[in-house]
Chain A
Amino acid sequence: MRLIRKLIFNLAVLVPAAVLLGLGTAWYMVQAGTRLSTRTIGPWVAWTGAGRPEAEPYTRAHIALNGVLPVSSTSEIAFRAKTDSDGGRLTSGCDYAVAMEDFEPQWWNLAVFDGSGALVANAAERYAFSSGSAMREPDGRTLIAVARDARPGNWLPSGRSNRIVLVLTIQDASWAAAIHNGGAPKVMPRIVRTGCR
């Protein structure tokens, strides 16, 4: 009787607990990423093996679950930021300044998405800036205002979606190689919260 009770306990409690633990940790490592698969520079996180045929299993699973089509990280690298440079969650309820100083890759594109990768609807129909379309300050910096309401200069509307994610795509082989090979971190743009409503 005791043996049967033990068996029922093992099957009803321990096996589901183990399965949940296994699935939960796999889900976390595939969606959030860890040091094994990602590189973090300030608030920016990149999947270093994205797009590569020899990518490790977590990156492959991440690509498969998110429906993305990444260009090989040897020539281009995409960073996502869910927080500002002080660690606060990015939301459309706050305004942010993305400051690019000494940031000189060959080409870049900065876009705003909601948490699921959808573009944020806005009346200006503006969803991204790139190195070819953003205006520079007289001192050479590029400042991009991510805000719900119109701002002078490079205004990137954050719409009315609650959580937002900034995606910075950099096309530059030397940058991509440095990130991929774990070299010295490049200067990345800072995301500064300028106010909340």
Chain B
Amino acid sequence: MRAWPGQLWRTPRGWLARLPPARMLLKQALGLLLRLRLPGWLRRLGLRRIAAVVLLAGIVHICATLATPVLSSRHAFLLLRDKLSANRMVVLPPQAPGQQLLPWLPPHMLYAICRYDLSGGPVTVRATVADAGWALSLHATQGENFYVLPGQPLRRTEVSLVLVPKGPETPLIPRAESISDTPVVSPTREGLIVLRAPLHGLAWAAETEAMLQRATCTQARRAD
């Protein structure tokens, strides 16, 4: 079977060629559906009504799923927004029952969190990611993690970032504090910067906390 010169698609070959045409398949599927042994109350409803219910349920399902991230008031960002002042890194006390910052947040860790707000200009972030288990992560308002620097075993990494808003004004803003500042584009004007450090025991707690305390998150100077 050779394709005609002007044909838009190739004639199916192999197992595809042995399949009945699509119209036949549809008819067979409909026939199977009609022969289904539905319970009496469903049969009384009729196929058209059942199909309408399934279709409406599908629409509700899709709308509910897509609307949840937009309408939910249980976003991590919304839960923390009122507890944190903007553009300031705060080291939080170790988590304990009844004093949890967020649900499901791994315990036995120290956290430093900054709620950034780029409406006044870019934000500079400086932190040290000291070892395995440490992580510096940047999250947009719906929790999307658009930047992460995980710690590496026995390797201390000094990080310096300039967080800039997404949009046409992006190229005008950064006058990097230093050449080593890495520009990172935030998809939203607000979000969270989380620096996480595992607690290896009381002996290291003070040192870990001191390293978190040194992390900063400040409004950068605007370009002139």
Q: Dominant SS at the A interface?
A: mixed
Q: Residues of B at under 8 Å CB distance from A?
A: 45, 49, 52-61, 63-66, 68-69, 72, 74-76, 79, 95-98, 100, 102-109, 132-133, 135, 137, 139-140, 142-146, 148, 150-153, 187, 192, 194, 198-201
Segment at the B interface, from A120-128, A143-151, A181-189 = A120-128
Q: How many A-B residue pairs have CB under 8 A?
A: 195
| Chain B residues with CB under 8 A of A65 | 68, 72, 74
Q: Dominant SS at the B interface?
A: mixed
| Chain A residues with CB under 8 A of B54 | 18, 21
| Chain B residues with CB under 8 A of A130 | 108, 133, 198, 200
CB of A7 within 8 A of chain B? no
Report the Cα distance A17→B60, complex, angstroms.
Answer: 11
CB of A14 within 8 A of chain B? yes
> Is A132 within 8 A of B200, CB to CB?
yes
Q: Interface size (A, Cβ < 8 Å)?
A: 59
Given the interface contacts A53-B187, A129-B108, does A63 sit within 8 Å of B150 by beta carbon? no
State how many angstroms separate the Cβ of B70 from the closest Cβ of chain A: 8
Given the interface contacts A119-B97, A132-B133, does A67 sit within 8 Å of B139 by beta carbon? no
CB of A23 within 8 A of chain B? yes
State how many angstroms separate the Cβ of A83 from the closest Cβ of chain B: 17
State how many angstroms separate the Cβ of A50 from the closest Cβ of chain B: 8
> Is A119 within 8 A of B143, CB to CB?
no
| Chain B residues with CB under 8 A of A131 | 132-133
> Is A67 within 8 A of B76, CB to CB?
yes
Report the Cα distance A57→B142, complex, angstroms.
Answer: 12
Q: Can you list, as one digit per residue, whether each of A95-117 has a CB less than 8 Å from chain B (1) or not (0)?
A: 00000000000110101010011
> Is A22 within 8 A of B135, CB to CB?
no
CB of A177 within 8 A of chain B? no
CB of A55 within 8 A of chain B? yes
